[in-house]
Amino acid sequence: MKSRIDGDKIYLRKLVESDAESIAENLANKHYSMCIPTIPHPYTLANAKSFIKGSNEQWESSKKFQYAVVLRQTGELIGCCAFTDINYEHKRSELGYWISKKYWRQGYGTEMLNLMIGFAFNELKLHRIAAGALAHNTASQNLLQKCGFKKEGIQKERELLFGKYHDRILFGILAPK
């Protein structure tokens, strides 16, 4: 599978062990745990190392493709994105992602999603990509819609985070015909 996808301002590449420190530093902010239920808080270097190891094992079995989002100009890791729950029979997958807070609203998220969408439809030959965002994460919802995802529904009180239930908004995009 493609271990690098090049864009204009960023590129996506397979995670490496040396990414752990940057990932841990970025995800230490509680905001990420409030928006992405699979991210524990506090997030530690051990969490990052385990995440990278597990992601790369799943990569080898083609069950998950986890990418680092890297600035072309500096080589800095500014986020991660992944296709998870890939179903080759039904040609579908779920997309997840995060971008470092200091790089929000600068076009990196849009470029990342567009690279992933192109990869899914052109390389993986998927028919459908699903994504979700918690109801309070309007920035992520807006990003998904900007990149062509359509709102498909709401899962009421799906996630329990820090003692409170949160709705999850469901999105999807289909391959062009």
What is the rounded radius of gyration, in angstroms, for the C-alpha atoms of the chain?
15
Percentage above 90 pLDDT, the chain: 95
Instruction: Please state, rounded to an integer, the average pLDDT across all residues of the chain.
Output: 96
Whether pLDDT at 2 is above 90 = no
For 81, residues 6+ apart whose C-beta sits below 8 A from its C-beta are: 12, 66, 67, 69, 95, 96, 97, 98, 112, 113, 116
pTM for the structure as a whole: 0.95
**Cα-based angle 56, 119, 129 (whole degrees, multiple of 5):** 90
- Beta strands 128-134; 92-99: pairing state: parallel
Domain residue extents for the chain: 4-174
DSSP 65-87: EEEEEEETTT--EEEEEEEEEEE
Tens of pLDDT, residues 154-168: 999 999 999 999 999
pLDDT tens digits, 16-38: 999 999 999 999 999 999 999 99
What pLDDT, on the 0 to 100 scale, is given for residue 61?
87
Domain covering 4-174 assigned CATH 1.10.760.10 in the classification? no
Q: How many residues does the chain have?
A: 177
H or E segment and range at residue 92: strand 92-99
- Count the Cβ atoms, other than its own, within 10 Å of residue 160: 10
User: Tens digit of pLDDT for each residue in 85-125?
Assistant: 999 999 999 999 999 999 999 999 999 999 999 999 999 99
Residue 175, helix vs strand vs coil: coil
Question: ∠ at Cα 119 (77, 159), nearest 5°?
Answer: 65
pLDDT at res. 146: 98
